Amino acid sequence: MRLVSLLPSATEILYALGLDDQLVGVTFECDEPPSARSAKTVIVGGRDTSGMTPGEIDILNSDGILHNLHTYSTANPSINKAQPKFKKTMTEKLEKPEFVKITCDVHSWMLGWIAVMPHPYFGVTDANGVAKIENAPAGKQTIEVWHETLGKVTKDVEVKAGQTAKVAFEMKK
């Protein structure tokens, strides 16, 4: 079974029951046990973002060693600062829409991307390459697919109210 917990208390219960190996996703609010957010996929951008401040991101240090936050961006100011072992959470601001590369200069293998979106209509592909965008407004919409090495591809799609529109993308090197 693959479990996703959308409630901090549910995450705690799943850990207490020893079901954490079946837990694949938690929310950004699931802070108990502290390892939950670093060991599992953190789901953001759901319909309820009431607990989030737009443009703010929490960067966690869960292993208690020195790291460094280094972002590469053009629209947002770049960040380059140390995250000492005692700094469990650092809150940074990324307010302008763009794809921001983030690395740790202490550990060359630590690299990620942060997608700052101007709207809540996005999805992340799963292991089968499928992404879902929920509650997209009806009408003619443009979908943009982004991949860190393959770049961007866009397609137009007609979204009908109450129906699912399917669009296939193929990206090549």
79 versus 104: smaller Cβ distance to Cu ion = 104
Cβ contacts of 44 within 8 Å, gap of 6 or more: 27, 28, 52
Q: Least distance to Cu ion from the beta carbon of 68, Å?
A: 6
**Cβ neighbours of residue 130 under 8 Å, at least 6 residues apart?**
none
Nearest residue to 84 (alpha-carbon basis) of 101, 107, 61: 61
Our CB check for Cu ion shows the closer of 19 and 106 to be 106
**Cα distance between residue 45 and residue 35, in whole Å:** 21
The terminus-to-terminus CA distance of the chain in angstroms comes to 35
What is the binding site for Cu ion (CB under 5 A)?
67, 104, 106-107, 110
Q: Measured from the CB of residue 101, what is the shortest distance to Cu ion in angstroms?
A: 15
How far is it, in rounded angstroms, from Cα 144 to Cα 95?
20
How many helices (H) and strands (E) in the chain? Answer: 2, 11
Cβ nearer to Cu ion, comparing 23 with 59: 59
Nearer to Cu ion, 89 or 125 (CB): 89
Which is closer to Cu ion, CB of 18 or CB of 64? Answer: 64
Minimum distance of Cu ion from residue 104's CB (angstroms): 3
- Show the tokens assigned to 67: 């790291």
Least CB distance to Cu ion at residue 70 (A): 10
Report in angstroms how near the CB of residue 109 gets to Cu ion at its nearest: 9
Tell me which H or E stretch contains 12. helix 8-16
**Which single residue brings its beta carbon nearest to Cu ion?**
104
